[in-house]
Amino acid sequence: MTTTLRLFIDHLETPVGRLTLIDDDEGRLHTVGFEERHDRMERQLRAYSGAPAVALERAPAKRASADALERYFAGDLAAIDALAVAGGGTPFQRAVWSALREIPCGETWSYADLARRIGRPSAVRAVGLANGANPIAIVVPCHRVIGSDGSLTGYGGGIDRKRWLLAHERRARPGAQLHLPA
């Protein structure tokens, strides 16, 4: 007997491009990404869903995840904090993704900070790879990770979006520990 995972797809127009969101019956996000990165999202969904079959349906109504992200982009940064995310990935990736959600909105950590946070201080490169494989953009805030020298390093949505997201969070939380290069 094949168990089919039923998922819902929704879209959201944002100041930095169109987001695609995929969640399940329980409202747990499985993937969030920018539309032009759709091929990457499909690969991640297949890799991390854990289900032998996936049925993807258009969301019949606005989902709570889309509403929360809409509020985040409108300046209510805490709106995404309580969104549930589906498990997936390796135990190491899940540890990194969980730690990403601990980075306070408006602040940044380096990859080395993140590696120390999960108790693997020498795993900086592996942390970078796990960060890059994050299937749930913005809600699992990989955009808040920067190089040890303060540089804005890779982001699946592009450096310009990363810069915009960090500036958006900085505007809404003045005084946060945000280290942007000049």
Is the same domain home to 56 and 111?
no
Mean pLDDT (whole number) for 56-60: 83
pLDDT of res. 106:
85
Q: Choose the catalytic residue: 12, 69, 137, 142.
A: 142
pLDDT at 12: 93
Model confidence at 181, in pLDDT bands (50, 70, 90)? Answer: very low
Please give the structure tokens belonging to residue 112.
């080395």
Residues 143, 166: contact at Cβ < 8 Å?
A: yes
48 vs 97, more confident: 97
**Whose structure tokens read 């349906």?**
57
CATH number of domain containing 98: 1.10.10.10
Q: Are residues 68 and 103 in the same domain?
A: no
Mean pLDDT for the stretch of residues 7-29: 92
Q: Which of 36, 60, 80 is the last residue of a domain?
A: 80
Contact criterion met (CB below 8 Å) for 48 and 89 = yes
Q: Is residue 128 located within the same domain as residue 159?
A: yes
Domain count across the chain = 2
pTM of the model: 0.85
pLDDT score for 57: 83
* Same domain flag for 130 and 58: no
pLDDT band at 182 (very low <50, low <70, confident <90, very high): very low
The residue-averaged pLDDT of 13-30 equals: 92
161 inside domain = yes
What is the residue range of 60's domain? 4-80
d(CA 90, CA 4): 21
Last residue of a domain, one of 80, 106, 122: 80
Say how far apart CA 77 and CA 133 lie, in whole Å: 23
SS3 breakdown of the chain: % helix, strand, coil, rounded to 5?
Answer: 40, 20, 40
pLDDT exceeds cutoff 70 at 39: no
Cβ-contact 64, 8 below 8 angstroms? no
Decide which of 80, 107, 141 is a domain's last residue.
80
For residue 42, pLDDT beyond 80: no
Active-site residue, 142 included: yes
Reported as type and span, the H/E element at residue 12 is strand 4-14
Q: Is residue 180's pLDDT more than 50?
A: no
pLDDT at 173 over 80: no
Task: Categorize the per-residue pLDDT at 177 as very low, low, confident or very high, splitting at 50, 70 and 90.
Answer: low
The mean-pLDDT minimum among 44-48, 98-102, 170-174 falls in 44-48
